[in-house]
Amino acid sequence: MIQVQVGDITRLEVDAIVNAANSSLLGGGGVDGAIHRAAGPELLAYCRGLGGCETGDAKITPGFRLPARYVIHTVGPVWRGGDAGEPDLLASCYRRSLELAVENAAVSIAFPCISTGVYGYPKSAAAEIAVATVRDFARLDAIEQVVLCCFDEPAAILHRRALEDNQ
Ligand code: ADP
């Protein structure tokens, strides 16, 4: 039910893909840029009406031209050394995204490796939090498939290891 896949999240045929957005929700680089390019300009227009998003929180939009029905935009913490609440905020991103999926009857959801790009979160620690938070999610019974979508094989290795260590 929790799977690790390597590839481009914008191609996945799941009910919802998660975007590692910034707090403006007005687009950026990395996975955010890729999602906006694939979804089309309607996504940015819709996001303008949302008034941004706090770090650790999430907001849902349609997927527009994406295969996914929804995009769940979450704002990961910028890594500041680990003593600024980063682990709790990162866990909150996964939890809030899953909550929005359940509220919207999305039964399959794919996550990118939130905060591990420009935001600088150490990749191994982030993988542990991703796996543990998904596993501990209270309403996991309402979700059929969680894809941890890694952009490269080294990230996938870390997530597979976290899944094995966390059983
Ligand atoms: P953040 O600002 O939260 O760090 P980034 O977009 O810079 O977000 O990076 C988050 C992760 O998304 C990184 O691990 C990066 O390799 C990955 N990534 C970038 N583009 C894609 C994509 N098209 N599909 C899946 N993952 C992607």
Query: Residue with the nearest Cα to atom 18 of ligand 1?
Result: 31
Q: How many Å lie between the centroid of ligand 1 and the Cα of residue 21?
A: 10
Q: Mean pLDDT for the chain?
A: 97
Q: Is the CB of 31 under 6 A from ligand 1?
A: yes
Cβ–Cβ under 8 Å, residues 27 and 50: no
pLDDT tens readout for residues 101-153: 999 999 999 999 999 999 999 999 999 999 999 999 999 999 999 999 999 99
Its domain, for residue 120, covers 2-138
Q: Alpha-carbon distance 76 to 78, whole Å?
A: 7
Residue 45: inside a domain, yes or no? yes
Mean pLDDT of 17-29: 96
Cβ–Cβ under 8 Å, residues 64 and 40: yes
Band the pLDDT of 166: cuts 50, 70, 90: confident
pLDDT tens readout for residues 65-77: 999 999 999 999 9
Residue 105 exposure: Cα atoms within 13 Å on the Cβ side: 0
Residue 150: inside a domain, yes or no? no
Residue 38: inside a domain, yes or no? yes
CA terminus-to-terminus distance, the chain: 13
Residue 149: inside a domain, yes or no? no
The answer, yes or no, to whether residue 167 has pLDDT greater than 90, is: no
Residue 99: inside a domain, yes or no? yes
Cβ–Cβ under 8 Å, residues 90 and 129: yes
Residue 87: inside a domain, yes or no? yes
The CATH number covering residue 111 comes to 3.40.220.10
> Which pLDDT belongs to residue 47?
98
> Which pLDDT belongs to residue 80?
98
pLDDT tens readout for residues 43-57: 999 999 999 999 999
